[in-house]
Amino acid sequence: MDDAQMTFWEHLDVLRDSIIRMIVAAVVMGVVAFCLKEPLFDIVLAPKDSDFITYRWLGGEAFSINLINTGLAEQFLIHMKVALMVGVLVASPYILFLLFRFIAPALYENERRYSVRITVAAYAMFLLGIVVNYFIIFPLTVRFLGTYQVSETVSNMLTISSYIDTLMMMSLIFGIIFEIPVVSWLLAIFGLLKASWMSQYRRHAVIAILILAAAITPTGDALTLVIVALPIWLLYEVSILIVKISNGSTNEHK
């Protein structure tokens, strides 16, 4: 049946079928991740050790962070939560495909082309943000906060729950931050953002970026602050370039 001839309830049936497929895909991938416990947590817990690639690249003193468990069922629940999150991440291309397949019939041909570009760009940038956080931002945060002491008489006892929650939260934050070029592109397409404006307020943006970097990784290390702020500043500069190209294309079409 043609999508234009489908009733409201038939559309709901299609949506329900798509949602069920998404949930099944995420659960199946989550079960696979759950069964791969050893390699899964080798990756997740790698940033807590001083032989992690980021620390070897930056240098510095060797350190060791020991994680503890404080709840009877906590480790099992964390295992399930991490496996489910990984399952959703692995299944996300299929989930996005199902969402687009449901929405696409309501779009015009040019809207579909823009939607595909925006979706692919947003997804790629979100994944890039997660990768940057895992290899740069989160390890620096772990090393500083995990080894910070107000006194030598006070030792750190970090829970695995705190470690996992921080990793997931920061991954989400940087995934969203890395959407800046995509959001800028959209605003430029609709004529709500100009490259000249972004260039004019570049100094203000740099200050805001440094404040944001300091809030995300509250360290007293200037090098760490620069390393955290650098990718965000590069995103801003790339956004200016994208907006400039978009503004030029919009003017040509006019």
Residues 89, 178: Cα–Cα separation, whole Å: 16
* pLDDT tens digits for range 42-82: 999 999 998 999 988 877 788 888 899 998 999 999 999 99
DSSP string, 135-157: IIIHHHHHHHHHH--S-TTS---
Instruction: Burial-class residue 145 by CB neighbours within 10 Å (0-12, 13-18, 19+).
Output: middle
pLDDT tens for each residue of the chain, 254 residues long: 455 566 767 778 888 999 999 999 999 999 999 999 999 999 999 999 989 999 888 777 888 888 999 989 999 999 999 999 999 999 999 999 999 888 888 778 887 888 888 899 999 999 999 999 999 889 988 888 888 788 888 888 889 999 999 899 989 989 999 999 999 998 888 888 898 999 999 999 999 998 888 877 655 567 677 878 888 999 999 999 999 988 766 555 55
Total-model pTM = 0.84
Q: What crossing angle do the helices spanning 74-103 and 37-44 adopt, rounded to 10°?
A: 90
* pLDDT tens digits for range 170-185: 899 899 999 999 999 9
List all residues 6 or more positions away from 48 whose beta carbon is below 8 Å from its beta carbon. 65, 67, 142, 146, 163
